[in-house]
Each structure stands twice: as structure tokens, then as C-alpha cells.
Amino acid sequence: MIKLSNISTRAPEHLKEKEVRQETEELVDRLGDLQQRMCAEKKHAVLVVLQGMDGSGKDGAAHKVFDGCHITGITYHAFKKPTEEEFAHDFLWRVHKVAPEKGMIGIFNRSHYEDILIQRVHKWIDEKRVEQRMKAINAFEELLAFDNSTHIFKFYMHISYDEQEKQLLQRMREPEKFWKHNPGDWEERKLWDQYMTAYEYAINKSSIPWYICPVDQRWYRDYFIAKTLVDALEKLHMQMPPLATK
């Protein structure tokens, strides 16, 4: 049973930032190589879910970690408030249609889990609906994994309460970050404990495990995600296809 309060939001103390940054650069390059092989083989798909509280660095992680990947092999989708059309469908409709095809890496900034996080915290759905949706999410992810060879990496961006405050204040004080400021983020922050309960439920009830990624130090966040992806994709032993002669 995962309890988020028992897991550090910072890098292990023995790590040295300079060395980790150097290794991260190498991992980012290697991820680009692996992506090229996957794109050529078209045997696998990758779905990367970046889920976390406001200020946890989802955008930054996507930019840094996938910097070595070719843009034609990446899809990126940021899930916001559902549109009128999306509200008229089941909650997974808008998610399924943007799932990555074989040969592609799909990145979700927030995801289908929003429908058992924010909606649960604000009590827009009851606990019975939460349970039903959790079962549907597990079935959906298993479908992607087993029917389309989609490798799913779900990263909970584990930020501390104090670090979140620092990140939100930066959005108010630094001109280049003004565009990120949303007064509503401060209102959501008041519900921190309720969100932690909702996240722990989603993490512990998931069939496909989550990775708890410490993000208080952004250099370690990038390393953690890149290392996780490279280590897993290396095990697929992907190869460039031979030259077609006919």
C-alpha cells in the first residue's frame, strides 16, 4: 500500500547534481535513439502519463525528457476541462481517441485520472461512480497494453506542499511565467489533503503500477523519468528493419 507522505519528494542524498545532469543528457539522447527504432519497427506504442498537482512540472518534464526525440514520433495531449462534445460521451471517449498508435510515444499532461481526482475531490461524482470509473480505467489500460502492445508509464509527479507554494509564487513574480498563473490553483491548494487521498486511491487501485517521481529538484525529476523509460525500452531489443529490396 503506497502512502505518499512516506515517500520523499527529493533526490536521494548520495546523488550529486552535476553527475546526474550529465547522465540525464546521455539518457535523453538514448531515448531518442530508442524512439527512432520503435518508430521504424512499428511493433510497440508507448504512453507516458504525467499526473500531479499544479506546479509539479509536467510541462517541463515533457520538454526536457523528450528533447532528443523526433517530433514526428511524439504526440502530446494536455487534458483540460471537457468540451461540450466530450461531456456528451463517456469519460474515456476523449482519451481513447488520442492514445498512441504503434511506433509512437504519446504523452498525456494530466489524463483520464482527472475523472476520479478533481471530480471526486469536488464531490461532482459519488464514491460508487469513482469505483466504477476506476474499474473502467484499469480495463482501458489493459486493453491498450494487451491488444495494442502499448507500454504504459504512469508518473505521479510527487511535489511537496512547500515546493508547490514556491512554484505558484514564481508564476506571480517572474514575468516569463505570468502566463502560467491561475488564481484557481490557490483554491485547489486548499484541498491538498483531499487530493492526496484521491491520488493514493488511484495509485493503489491501479492494475498497471505507477512510478512515484520526486520533483522538488527538477534535475532529479528529469533523470528519474528518462532513466525509467530508457531502462524499460532497452528490454524490448528493438531493431531497425532491413532494407526493403522489393
* pLDDT tens per residue across span 198-226: 999 999 999 999 999 999 999 999 999 99
Reference 39, options 83, 1, 65, 75; nearest CA is 75
pLDDT digit string (tens) for 162-175? 999 999 999 998 88
Q: Could you tell me the sign of the dihedral formed by the alpha carbons of 137, 143, 146, 152, in that order?
A: negative
pLDDT at 5: 96
Report the C-alpha dihedral over residues 98, 234, 222, 182, rounded to 10 degrees. Answer: 10
pLDDT at 182: 87
d(CA 189, CA 224): 25
Reference 107, options 97, 96, 116, 99; nearest CA is 99
Reported as a pLDDT band with limits 50, 70 and 90, residue 241 is confident
Any idea how long the chain is?
A: 246
Please count the CA atoms within 13 angstroms of the CA of 129 that sit on its side-chain side.
12
Residue 128 has phi, psi (to 5 degrees) of -65, -40
Q: Is the pLDDT of residue 176 over 90?
A: no
First-to-last alpha carbon distance for the chain, in angstroms, is 55
pLDDT at 79: 94
**CATH topology (fold) of 16-234:** Rossmann fold (3.40.50)
| CA geometry: angle 106, 54, 113, nearest 5 deg | 50
pLDDT digit string (tens) for 118-170? 999 999 999 999 999 999 999 999 999 999 999 999 999 999 999 999 999 99
